[in-house]
């Protein structure tokens, strides 16, 4: 399997956006979600290699505030900031069009890019996408309520990082979480300011879903406690060009908890 190659681009505002890539062929951009320690490579460690083997050029950006990208303090982390900075970096990297694969916040970013620059996006694969309901509705979800921790403080520990990751998956999958994934996220979390989560601001794109004309595959865990699975109906009711899949005994991380199935279905969708 190809090794990941790293690149960093300066974007508007004086920030740096880091991304990694592997493979050749049509571009597929993986957009990770939020949460302490998230990064492109760690969130999709069980997925990107299968896409490379299927003949795709995989791009794994670290969103602003995450991974090896800039992590500014004292600002609001808005959806437009996430979107504009990663979009600018992708353009600087020479990407003129791509399929977007996004989970959680990354799904909301994928939708915003499709709305802002429709010609850039060929298709979308979304796993429990955020930003399709009011932000307050997400904060009522039990998984987010359990995310309260010492994140951003000197007392934040690797054990606390494992607890946070465990919240993202169905209880039946917790024992399968590799220590290396926890370690990767802990290393990033130690470098992140609290503002990354405390000052995140996301709009409700639900009323605009009908404007997205690209074909979409939307996958959701039935037991997702972060982004409610009822969101699948919003895409269907909006009349989108969409097929939806719901997985039982799966939490917020379809691409992790059902990695082989996710890879097969998503690649099949992209292959057309």
Catalytic residue among 18, 87, 170, 252: 252
- Answer yes or no: 252 catalytic: yes
- Buried/exposed code over 143-173 (b: 16+ C-beta within 10 A; e: otherwise): bbeebebebbeeebeeebbbebbbbbbbeeb
- Stated as kind and residue range, the H or E segment containing 236 is helix 231-237
Coil, strand or helix: which one is 38?
coil
Q: Is 142 exposed, middle or buried (0-12, 13-18, 19+ CB in 10 A)?
A: exposed
Could you tell me which residues are beta bridge partners of residue 247?
221
Q: How far apart are CA 185 and CA 165, in angstroms?
A: 9
Tokens 């169905």 sit on residue: 170
Which residue has 């493979």 as its token pair?
23
Q: What DSSP line would sit under 102-167, residue for residue?
A: EETHHHHHHHHHHHH-GGGEEEEEEES--SSS-HHHHHTSHHHHTT-S-TTSTT--HHHHHHHHHH
Catalytic residues: 252
């Amino acid at each position: 399997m190809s090794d990941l190659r790293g690149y960093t681009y300066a974007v508007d505002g004086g920030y740096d956006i880091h991304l990694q890539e592997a493979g050749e062929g049509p571009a597929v951009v993986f957009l990770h979600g939020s949460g302490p320690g998230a990064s492109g490579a760690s969130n999709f460690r069980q997925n990107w290699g299968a896409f490379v083997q299927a003949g795709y050029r995989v791009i794994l950006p670290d969103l602003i505030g995450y991974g090896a990208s800039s992590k500014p303090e004292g600002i609001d982390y808005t959806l437009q900031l996430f979107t504009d900075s990663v979009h600018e970096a992708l353009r600087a990297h020479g990407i003129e069009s791509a399929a977007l694969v996004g989970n959680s916040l990354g799904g909301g970013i994928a939708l915003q890019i499709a709305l802002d620059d429709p010609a850039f996006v060929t298709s979308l694969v979304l796993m429990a996408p955020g930003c399709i309901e009011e932000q307050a509705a997400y904060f009522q979800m039990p998984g987010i309520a359990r995310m309260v921790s010492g994140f951003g403080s000197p007392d934040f520990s690797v054990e606390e990082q494992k607890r946070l990751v465990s919240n993202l998956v169905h209880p039946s999958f917790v024992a399968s979480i590799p220590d290396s994934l926890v370690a990767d996220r802990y290393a990033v979390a130690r470098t992140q300011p609290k503002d990354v989560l405390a000052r995140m601001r996301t709009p409700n794109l639900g009323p605009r879903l009908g404007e997205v004309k690209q074909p979409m595959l939307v996958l959701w865990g039935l037991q997702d406690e972060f982004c409610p699975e009822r969101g699948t109906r919003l895409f269907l009711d909006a009349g989108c060009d969409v097929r939806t899949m719901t997985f039982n005994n799966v939490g917020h991380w379809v691409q992790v908890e059902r990695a082989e199935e996710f890879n097969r279905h998503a690649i099949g969708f992209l292959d057309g």
